Amino acid sequence: SSEFNNSKLIPLFSAEQIQNRIQEMGAEITRDYAGREPLLVGVLKGACVFISDLMRAIDLPLAVDFMAISSYGSQMRTSGEVRIIKDLDTPVEGRDILVVEDIVDTGLTLSYLLASLHARGARSVKLAALLDKWERRERPVQIDYLGFKIPDAFVVGYGLDYAERYRNLPYIAVLKED
């Protein structure tokens, strides 16, 4: 389509850089959670690619579940609204929860989600995020395991979309629209 052809992708992190960083994050998580069995909570849809690689970099017994929380529509702009689209299937009470996100931007999604999981009686709640677009933060969010800090640019690939497109790119790129 024309909008596809008029967009430019400027590579930011290669597939190899991403995989190397995830191996380091997985090793750190494995050390920190030794003797425990964390529940990884992936935030759909953006985190689907990251969680599938991160969970395989963690050498521990673990469980995986998913939530869908939307703060964006199909546009680049945030609506400021946070909605639960799909809740967990797993009870979180007493569990060590590791939320897995592709990106923390304004922090609206994660500040809401982390507070909600604490309120449900989780034993611990930590966050692994691949990308931190820190300049845009509106709500404070503690990122316990971070892949990369990024500048305030619109990034796509490796799960991140623009209007649902580009999630399947194996690398992360800045999307420039003409």
Give the DSSP letter of residue 153.
S
Q: What is the spatial distance between Cα 72 and Cα 57, in angstroms, rounded to a whole number?
A: 29
What x/- string results for residues 112 through 151 when contact with ligand PRP is judged by CB under 6 A?
----------------------------------------
Inter-residue contact 141 to 110 (CB < 8 Å)? yes
Least spacing, CB of residue 47 vs ligand PRP, in Å = 7
**Of the candidate residues 29, 97, 103, 172, the single one contacting ligand PRP (CB under 6 A):** 103
Q: What is the spatial distance between Cα 80 and Cα 163, in angstroms, rounded to a whole number?
A: 17
Least spacing, CB of residue 167 vs ligand PRP, in Å = 8
Binding to Mn ion (CB under 5 A): which residues in 24-63? 46
Least spacing, CB of residue 79 vs Mg ion, in Å = 12
Identity of the residue, 7 or 30, whose beta carbon is nearer to ligand PRP in the bound complex: 7
Q: What is the spatial distance between Cα 107 and Cα 101, in angstroms, rounded to a whole number?
A: 11
The catalytic position among 96, 102, 105, 161 is 105
Phi, then psi, of 94 in degrees rounded to 5:
80, 0
Instruction: Classify burial at 129, counting beta carbons within 10 Å of its beta carbon; exposed 0-12, middle 13-18, buried 19 or more.
Output: buried
Least spacing, CB of residue 35 vs Mg ion, in Å = 36
**107 lies in the binding site for Mn ion (CB under 5 A):** no
> Which candidate, 126, 120, 59, 125, places its Cα nearest to that of 90?
120
**Of the candidate residues 109, 132, 161, 169, the single one contacting Mg ion (CB under 5 A):** 161
Three-state SS letters, 23-41? HHHHHHHHHHCCCCCCEEE
Active-site residue, 105 included: yes
Q: Which residues bind Mn ion (CB under 5 A)?
A: 46
Q: Which residues bind ligand PRP (CB under 6 A)?
A: 43-46, 70-72, 78, 101-110, 161
Residues catalogued as catalytic: 105
